[in-house]
Amino acid sequence: MATFAITAKLLEDRFFGERGVTQAPRGAETCALLIEEFGAEVSQRLRAVNVDPDAITDVDSPDSFAWCQATTLYGIAAEFPRRMRWPESDTYATWDEKFRQRLVDLGRNPNAVLKDAASSVQSSAGVRHVFV
């Protein structure tokens, strides 16, 4: 399962800043579980469009890697506060919406979101797309 180099510190830096993911009780453990869960979900969606998630690296396909990392981070950032029982926020709902929309975009047009992935994708219409 690909985790796209996501760590609790990265989540904290990009989304929560001073709120402190790693210092919160159960924060690091919760984050580790969410990295696995959301990494698995994004990996499953990549496989659904015939892309090997382990083939997407920051060296060989940096744009696709960044897209996968950001997508996974949105999902984790939306779920982390719920698991920590932090007060609800419109911000968390926005992150959840972005996560879900990015998955829809991947399913509808993988070529648009994975521009530099070195893989072939078979669309649902039977048209073969090749990333270069």
How does DSSP assign 23-36, residue by residue?
Answer: TSTTHHHHHHHHHH
User: How many Cα atoms are found within 13 Å in the side-chain-facing hemisphere of 38?
Assistant: 29
pLDDT at 18: 76
**Where do the structural domains in the chain lie, given as residue ranges?**
8-130
- pLDDT of 129: 41
Residue pLDDT, tens place only, 7-59: 999 999 999 987 778 888 899 999 999 999 999 999 999 999 999 999 999 99
Residue where the block lists tokens 């690909």: 2
Banded model confidence at residue 82, pLDDT cuts 50, 70, 90 = very high
State the average pLDDT for the chain: 88
| H or E element that contains 93 | helix 90-108
C-alpha–C-alpha distance, residues 82 and 99, integer Å: 15
Helix axes 27-48, 90-108, angle to 10 degrees: 20
pLDDT value at residue 118 = 55
State the pTM of this model.
0.86
